[in-house]
Amino acid sequence: MPTAKKKISKTATKKKLTGKTSTVKTKKTAVKKQASKVTATHTAADGFSFHGIGPYQEQKNEEYMNENQIAHFRNLLDAWKKELMEEVDRTLHYMQDEAANFPDPNDRASQESDFTMELRTRDRERKLIKKIDESTELLKTGDYGYCESCGIEIGIRRLEARPTATYCIDCKTLDEIKEKQRK
């Protein structure tokens, strides 16, 4: 993530230096907007940085998925799961509290759509927790971090952005293309 950010800000600086006309200026704003968007998506996808766990510091010639790396990803998955479980808990309590508070049928209708949304969120969280559990299992068996399809190393940075990834970026992209064609 930091690499991408750096790249974008570098480009922006370059444009600033060369930008003479107003057209360029407008363009620059557009680029800037896009840049902040990218950062935002990234932060959301990263997830791990919210749990107080920083990116893994690789040593030179370090073996892929050595003990330290395994420990790092176990911590990451554990912290993520814990947070999700707390979230599920909160949702449940919120719904229990709210259910008691709306005797009016109109209120109840809007409340129900609220609930539907909450339940959907909870369902998503549950599925994610299941995936986290599966990843934790892979860590135990030593299969974590390798592409399920082609067997290649998925890579530390991709795994940090998506700790539950089971495909390398190439297989994932291919999979998404196939998925689109099926529709």
Q: Which residues bind Zn ion (CB under 5 A)?
A: 147, 149-150, 168, 171
Tell me the three state secondary structure of residue 161.
helix
Report the DSSP beta bridge partners of residue 146. Answer: 153
d(CA 125, CA 115): 15
d(CA 114, CA 48): 28
Smallest distance from the beta carbon of 162 to Zn ion, in angstroms?
A: 14
- Return the number of the residue (139 or 147) whose C-beta is nearest Zn ion: 147
Rounding to the nearest 10 degrees, give the CA dihedral for residues 85, 76, 2, 127. Answer: -40
- Return the number of the residue (35 or 169) whose C-beta is nearest Zn ion: 169
Give the residue from 73, 14, 3 showing the smallest Cα distance to 38. Answer: 3
Smallest distance from the beta carbon of 175 to Zn ion, in angstroms?
A: 9
- Return the number of the residue (69 or 166) whose C-beta is nearest Zn ion: 166
- Return the number of the residue (136 or 149) whose C-beta is nearest Zn ion: 149
Tell me the three state secondary structure of residue 55.
coil
